[in-house]
Amino acid sequence: MNAFSHFIAQQMAQPQMTAAGRHARVTADPATLGDLDAAALDFIRTRPECGVGAIAAELGVDAPSLYPVLQKLRRCGLVVIAGRVGNGNLWKAA
């Protein structure tokens, strides 16, 4: 695969822009969430404005493994960034 065909394949894989100029929001059914996704969401709902470290400590996982989970929940519209603490984000349920 040459560089041009690779670029075209990447562009085709990205979500299309809406009329407002933003990517369409990815929606998800909560039934499709994994165990870690659901546990993180439940913890964020009970403790608004918590950081990744607090979520990781409660769930018994390391913080780097939570970043994809939180981004997935954010893209689904289930959590939002509530602010910043140190070098990380504070999360709360949408």
DSSP string, the chain: --HHHHHHHHHHHSPPB-TTSSBPPP---GGG--HHHHHHHHHHHHSSSEEHHHHHHHHTS-GGGTHHHHHHHHHTTSEEEEEEETTEEEEEE-
* Among the listed residues 70, 68, 72, the one whose alpha carbon sits nearest the alpha carbon of residue 29: 72
Question: Domain total for the chain?
Answer: 1
Confirm whether 5 is domain-assigned: no
Confirm whether 11 is domain-assigned: no
Q: What angle do CA 38, 94, 36 make, to 5 degrees?
A: 15
Confirm whether 1 is domain-assigned: no
Confirm whether 3 is domain-assigned: no
The CATH code of the domain that includes 79 is 1.10.10.10
Q: Cα(30)–Cα(9) distance, rounded to whole angstroms? A: 30
Residue-level pLDDT at 40: 92
pLDDT tens track for 18-64: 555 555 555 566 667 788 999 999 999 998 888 998 999 999 999 88
Residue-level pLDDT at 4: 81
Residue-level pLDDT at 32: 72
Can you give the residue range of the structural domain that contains 80?
24-93
Residue 82 pLDDT exceeds 60: yes
